[in-house]
């Protein structure tokens, strides 16, 4: 794991520990470090570290960040390729990478609060890989996703009239959206007709 990824991950954990339900942003981190440790760190320097533009920390910065996040200073370096600090299965390594990817995605989509929350919820699960595999199974089971959406998130499910308005039949028995993109095939059409009577 790269140093920038570790810092982003620690900001996410710290935000969660503080009950924010999100990562501490870089400016909040800088202010918290100064208030709680007396250490000085600029937001631009932190941004350079996280982006990889500045791949190494000064010893003072490493000690300050380690003290604030309560991690060993030796943790705050890039891991060598293929390095694992403890014996762990390949699945755990995949889980860690997947969790970082989800956290990064949540940060990228921070303006969509619902999506960001969903990505972070999956990342916080013990087995986020299994969550995504379950989602795949749900999506591949015809008709299951719309039914679950209606039950679990009724406000997010499109109204029955809207479904019919948005979806239109093309001449080949496939379902197409207003822009003409094929959304499904005859099996989906048959299931939709059975469900709608």
Structure confidence at residue 182 (pLDDT): 39
Phi, psi of 193 (to 5 degrees): -65, -40
Phi, psi of 181 (to 5 degrees): -70, 130
Structure confidence at residue 193 (pLDDT): 53
Structure confidence at residue 194 (pLDDT): 55
Structure confidence at residue 16 (pLDDT): 83
Query: What SS3 class is residue 32?
Result: helix
**Are 167 and 177 contacting, i.e. CB atoms less than 8 angstroms apart?**
yes
Structure confidence at residue 64 (pLDDT): 92
List, run by run, the mean pLDDT of 10-residue segments along the chain (197 residues): 88 86 91 92 91 88 89 82 57 74 84 88 86 90 88 70 39 38 47 53
Structure confidence at residue 56 (pLDDT): 84
Q: Is this structure's pTM higher than 0.95?
A: no
Structure confidence at residue 195 (pLDDT): 52
Query: What SS3 class is residue 125?
Result: coil
């Amino acid at each position: 794991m790269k140093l920038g990824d570790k810092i982003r991950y620690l900001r996410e954990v710290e935000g969660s520990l503080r009950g924010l339900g999100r990562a501490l942003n870089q400016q909040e981190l800088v202010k918290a470090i100064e208030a709680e440790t007396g250490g000085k760190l600029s937001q631009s320097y932190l941004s350079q570290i996280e982006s990889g533009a500045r791949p190494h920390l000064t010893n003072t910065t490493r000690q300050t960040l380690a003290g604030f996040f309560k991690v060993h200073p030796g943790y705050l370096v890039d891991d060598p390729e293929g390095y694992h600090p403890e014996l762990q299965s390949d699945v755990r390594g995949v889980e860690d990478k997947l969790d970082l990817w989800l956290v990064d995605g949540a940060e990228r989509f921070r303006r969509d609060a619902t999506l960001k929350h969903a990505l972070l919820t999956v990342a916080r699960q013990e087995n986020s890989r299994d969550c995504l595999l379950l989602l795949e199974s749900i999506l591949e089971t015809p008709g299951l996703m719309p039914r679950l959406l209606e039950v679990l998130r009724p406000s997010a499910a499109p109204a029955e009239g809207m479904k019919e308005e948005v979806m239109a039949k093309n001449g080949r028995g496939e379902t197409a959206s207003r822009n003409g993109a094929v959304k499904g095939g005859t099996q989906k059409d048959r299931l939709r007709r059975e469900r709608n009577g």
